[in-house]
Structure 1
Amino acid sequence: MDINIRHAVIHNVTGNSQEELEDTIIDAIESGEEKMLPGLGVLFEVIWNHSSDQDKREMLQALESGLK
């Protein structure tokens, strides 16, 4: 079976409100389940692709700080 994770994740959250998206992200993080990581990666990819250069720099700074 060939599953397109990007398509499935995007399909599952398309049309969700900001509150619903936040709940999805928080649930995925708090569950601590490894199987949720690809979905979070897809969501991050969407964020990254729709962010300005300044927003990307801020995300990278936050990431760098979080990894110290």
Structure 2
Amino acid sequence: MDLNLRKAILENISDNDQSQLEATIVEAIQSGEEKMLPGLGVLFELIWEQSSESDKEEMLNTLEKGVKQSS
């Protein structure tokens, strides 16, 4: 069986509006379940691909701050 996880995740959220997408993200983060990480990765990939260079720089700055605070 060939399972394309990225495709399955995108199909599951394809009809979601902003509030549903936010709920998905919040639930995945709050649950802390490892099985939710691939879905968050696919969502981040979509965000990254649709972002301008300045938005990417801002995300990287925010990510760097978060990483430093977590260590």
TM-score under structure 1 normalisation?
0.96
2:3 and 2:35 mapped to 1: Cα distance? 14
> Per-residue CA shift, 1:7-64, capped at 9, x if unaligned?
0111011121100000000001111110100110000000000000010000000000
Counterpart in the other structure of 2:54 = 54
Counterpart in the other structure of 2:44 = 44
Ranked by relative contact order (alpha carbons within 8 Å, sequence separation 6 or more), the top structure is 1
2:21 and 2:65 mapped to 1: Cα distance? 24
Q: How does 1:1-68 map to 2 (within 5 A)?
A: 1-68=1-68
Structure 1 consecutive aligned stretches of length 4 or more whose deviation exceeds 6 Å: none
TM-score under structure 2 normalisation?
0.92
One-letter amino acid of the structure 2 residue matched with residue 11 of structure 1: E
One-letter amino acid of the structure 2 residue matched with residue 28 of structure 1: A
1:2 and 1:35 mapped to 2: Cα distance? 19
2:58 and 2:12 mapped to 1: Cα distance? 28
Over the aligned positions, Cα root-mean-square deviation in angstroms equals: 0.7
2:11 and 2:63 mapped to 1: Cα distance? 27
